[in-house]
Amino acid sequence: MNSGLRNDLVAFDGPLAGRTLRSLEPVAGGCIHQAWSLTLDDGQRVFAKTGGSDAMALFSVEVEGLAALHAHADPELLVVPRPLATAQLSHGAVLLLPWLELGGRDQHALGRGLARLHRASAEASPGRFGWQRDGFIGAGPQPGGWRERWGDCFVELRLVPQLNLLGSLRDESQSLSVLLERLKDYLNRHDPAPSLVHGDLWAGNAGSLENNSGCLFDPACWWADREVDLAMTRMFGGFGADFYNSYENEYPMANNSDERVEIYNLYHLLNHANLFGGGYLQQSRASLKRLAQQLI
């Protein structure tokens, strides 16, 4: 694989045509694709993500999301890498990105930067919720489309497609349709401003650089309630008090935002249940039961 990838990258029609590739080393951490550290002839380091030929669809959506985040991010606080190239190769597909030197321990800039991104994008939003094309949440589908009201968008474009894929939960719950209508009504009354969200904001897709600037990558962007990003940061941990305090000081959350954490993270539980099964199916079932007890 290394030699084939190396040859594809520096081929005359490859993304690094005319360059010399000093080294090509695998990098740990990728769940869906393989990750690589490239060192070029001038010492520049590049991050490469590779996959099969079907990975090009995921890469094109990722490029679009990174460009959207970059357009609204404050570069003094938050680094969003600008893709260098995507290419279809004889051995699959590749996405090239600038190398980010992670390792900072301070999350103040990450929190402030995310808050500023949410606020700046809300001020320039399309005034509706959704995204212009079908995309992905991890390896799962994330349908495109638009809705004028937030509850309609979240239920119809996020929860229902996942539940349709996970048919067993639909079969088990006679009250599911009632719950979905209650969720839709509750979120419509919440009525947030559309913000550009990262969409898959767990600790593996964000970090701090060595200079303590924040950084975001691997997005699943859409226009949504900004609370969906903050909710997901609580699913798997990795975000400290400095992150949350800095966000809150920059762009305070609604007093009742905690009420919606489980609603918003249900989307990710259902997606994980579809992708991985196991305990995520049980967690999804338990979450639906708790929400039904609260809303029905």
Question: Is there a single domain that holds both residue 142 and residue 218?
Answer: yes
Whether 254 is in a domain gets the answer yes
pLDDT digits (tens, 9 = 90+) for 112-157: 999 999 999 999 999 999 999 999 999 999 999 999 999 999 999 9
Residue 160 has pLDDT above 70, yes or no: yes
Q: What is the CATH number of the domain that holds 248?
A: 3.90.1200.10
Residue 1 has pLDDT above 70, yes or no: no
| pLDDT value at 3 more than 90 | no
Q: Is the pLDDT of residue 171 over 90?
A: no
Instruction: Return the pLDDT at 135.
Output: 97
Q: What is the pLDDT of residues 217-235, one digit of tens each?
A: 999 999 999 999 999 999 9
Give the end of a domain, one of 98, 123, 153: 98
pLDDT for res 255:
93
Domain count, the chain: 2
Same domain, residue pair 191 and 86:
no
Last residue of one domain, picked from the residues 98, 132, 155: 98
Q: Are residues 158 and 76 in the same domain?
A: no
User: Which CATH number does the domain housing residue 73 bear?
Assistant: 3.30.200.20
**Residues 72 and 135 grouped into a single domain:** no
Is position 22 within any domain? yes
The answer on 183 and 37 residing in a single domain is: no
Q: Say whether both 129 and 254 belong to one domain.
A: yes
Q: What is the 3-state secondary structure (H, E, C) of the chain?
A: CHHHHHHHHHCCCCCCCCCCEEEEEEECCCCCCEEEEEEECCCCEEEEEEECCCHHHHHHHHHHHHHHHHHHCCCCCEECCCCCEEEEECCEEEEEEECCCECCCCCHHHHHHHHHHHHHHHHCCCCCEEECCCEEECCEEECCEEECCHHHHHHHHHHHHHHHHCHHHHHHCCCHHHHHHHHHHHHHHHCCCCEEECCCCCHHHEEEECCCCEEECCCCCEEECCHHHHHHHCCCCCCCHHHHHHHHHHCCCCCCHHHHHHHHHHHHHHHHHHHHCCHHHHHHHHHHHHHHHHHC
User: Do 93 and 119 fall within a single domain?
Assistant: no
Confidence class for position 170, pLDDT limits 50, 70, 90? low
In this structure, the answer to whether residues 83 and 158 fall within a common structural domain is no
pLDDT tens for each residue of 64-117: 999 999 999 999 999 999 999 999 998 789 999 999 999 878 999 999 999 999
Flag whether 271 is in a domain. Answer: yes
28 and 62: one domain? Answer: yes
Q: Is 39 a domain residue?
A: yes
Query: Which pLDDT band, with edges at 50, 70 and 90, does 29 fall under?
Result: low
The answer to whether residue 151 is domain-embedded is yes
Does residue 230 lie within any of the structural domains?
yes
Final residue in a domain of this structure, among 60, 79, 98 = 98
Cα gap 260→150, rounded to integer Å: 13
Identify whether residues 60 and 136 lie together within a single domain: no
From 99-108, 200-209, 212-221, 247-256, the region with the lowest mean pLDDT: 99-108
State the pLDDT at residue 216: 97
**125 contact partners, CB below 8 Å, separation of at least 6:** 193, 194, 195, 196, 223
Mean pLDDT of the chain: 93
pLDDT of residue 32: 79
What is the structure's pLDDT at 173?
A: 63
Residue span of the structural domain in which 133 resides: 108-295
Same domain, 94 and 171: no
Instruction: Name the band, by pLDDT with cuts 50, 70 and 90, for residue 28.
Output: confident
Instruction: Evaluate whether residue 103 is within a structural domain.
Output: no
Read off the pLDDT of residues 32-72 as tens digits, 9 standing for 90 and up. 788 999 999 999 999 999 999 889 999 999 999 999 999 99
Domain co-membership, 239 together with 272: yes
Q: Could you list the active site residues?
A: 200
